[in-house]
Amino acid sequence: MNREQQKDAGRIIVHVEHLKKYFPVGSAGFRKEPKQLKAVDDVSLDIHEGEIIGIVGESGCGKSTLGRAILRLFPVTDGKIVFKGTDITRMDRKELKEYRRDMQMIFQNPFSSFNPKQRIGNALAEVGKVYGMTESETNERIAELMEHINLPMDFLHRMPSELSGGQLQRLAIARALILNPGFIVADEPVSALDVSVQAQILNLITDLRKKMNMTMMFISHEMTVVEHTCDYICVMYLGRIIEMAPTKELFAHISHPYTRALMSAIPKADPDEEKERIVLEGDIPSAIDLPEGCSFASRCFACTKECRERRPELKDLGNGHFVACHRLH
């Protein structure tokens, strides 16, 4: 299904409009405002029901901040977040409580997402309890999820230290699903795991999304990981989306020089196949004092005078493909 068909098919679960999250950094000098680190700077996107949207980019580009901002884990600087038709941008903690159960997060490190002194079964049951499920409802749901994640029930009696990273990440996924949330942010859910285990977890996510119609934002710094898991991919660079497209379209017509550089880092299955090799040069500018023009200009092999002077906006290339680059029309 392409993006246009999907738009017709699925309702929008998350709508993000011109979202900004700036962090004040350093102390304010005399009569001076503190500087702002633009972690997320004018991001707009829609996430449709049953869709897995991938957010990909180098370390520090703002992926986690975007995910957390959408879940309203902190106040946002500007813009709008609409969740299932309700504007949640300025809601306070009390108002947000109703929405918390419907939006869950899966973290990178499964060992730090469980209390090391609590048995797995209790950690899972606690979620149901906090949100007012009865004990039998919770137990029934846990049993159902244990089957989905392919782990025996006796694992519920174990302590987190008695499990492998992969097993624990399966349980973290089960825990996020207990309340049947409408939206999940998975922040680098496989990055801390062994390569062989990574594939198992990615397969589990693919399997679960079919069974449960999950709507998910999947954050990763690796193109290959998002390629196999996501329907739609957004490439971020210094707080902005610089290219976004349905996965197949993106891989067929990679457009932005930054995305091409990210792709060129992926080894080809066939070593004899010709491969474009782009090595990123120059430094990533600081997200505090961003240059006037394109933020990628200082590292771009195709940079022109215009790129240094004027920031490119996202342009529609058709087929749901958008790119922010002066060189592409």
Ligand X SMILES: Nc1ncnc2c1ncn2[C@@H]1O[C@H](COP(=O)(O)OP(=O)(O)OP(=O)(O)O)[C@@H](O)[C@H]1O
Q: List contacts with Mg ion (CB under 5 A).
A: 64
Q: What is the DSSP letter of 312?
A: P
Instruction: Give the other-Cβ count within 10 Å of 209's Cβ.
Output: 19
Q: Which of Mg ion, ligand X, none is residue 291 near (CB under 5 to 8 Å by kind)? A: none
10 Å CB burial of residue 61 (0-12, 13-18, 19+) is buried
CB-facing half-sphere around the CA of 255: CA atoms within 13 A: 26
In this chain, which of 8, 33, 59, 154 binds ligand X, going by CB under 6 A?
59
For the CA atoms of 176, 181, 184, 189, the dihedral, rounded to the nearest 10 degrees, stands at 20
CA distance 71 to 18: 16
Nearer to Mg ion, 127 or 176 (CB): 176
Instruction: Please report how close the Cβ of residue 7 comes to ligand X at its closest, in angstroms.
Output: 27
Secondary element (H or E) of residue 79: strand 78-83
| Widest pairwise Cα distance in the chain | 66
Q: Which of ligand X, Mg ion, none is residue 287 near (CB under 5 to 8 Å by kind)? A: ligand X
In this chain, which of 62, 110, 121, 246 binds ligand X, going by CB under 6 A?
62
Sheet holding 78-83, edge to edge: 35-48, 12-25, 78-83, 86-87
Instruction: Please report how close the Cβ of residue 229 comes to ligand X at its closest, in angstroms.
Output: 17
CB under 8 Å to 230, separation ≥6 — which residues?
52, 53, 54, 218, 247
Q: Which of ligand X, Mg ion, none is residue 61 near (CB under 5 to 8 Å by kind)? A: ligand X
Instruction: Please report how close the Cβ of residue 263 comes to ligand X at its closest, in angstroms.
Output: 18
Q: Which of ligand X, Mg ion, none is residue 62 near (CB under 5 to 8 Å by kind)? A: ligand X
Instruction: Please report how close the Cβ of residue 92 comes to ligand X at its closest, in angstroms.
Output: 20
In this chain, which of 10, 44, 60, 119 binds ligand X, going by CB under 6 A?
60
In this chain, which of 3, 63, 256, 326 binds ligand X, going by CB under 6 A?
63
Q: Which residues pair with 21 in a beta bridge?
A: 40
Answer yes or no whether residue 37 interacts with ligand X by CB under 6 A. yes
The beta strands (E) that lie in 197-324 are given as 216-220, 232-237, 240-246, 315-318, 321-323
Q: Which of ligand X, Mg ion, none is residue 263 near (CB under 5 to 8 Å by kind)? A: none
Q: Which of Mg ion, ligand X, none is residue 221 near (CB under 5 to 8 Å by kind)? A: ligand X
Instruction: Please report how close the Cβ of residue 37 comes to ligand X at its closest, in angstroms.
Output: 5
In this chain, which of 221, 240, 256, 326 binds ligand X, going by CB under 6 A?
221
Q: Which of ligand X, Mg ion, none is residue 235 near (CB under 5 to 8 Å by kind)? A: none
Strands 315-318 and 86-87: unpaired
Answer yes or no whether residue 65 interacts with ligand X by CB under 6 A. yes
Residue range at the interface with ligand X (CB under 6 A); choices 62-70, 245-253, 277-285, 293-301: 62-70
CA distance 80 to 146: 37
Nearer to Mg ion, 56 or 179 (CB): 56
Instruction: State which of positions 242-301 bind ligand X (CB under 6 A).
Output: 287
Binding site for ligand X (CB under 6 A): 23, 37, 39, 57, 59-65, 221, 287
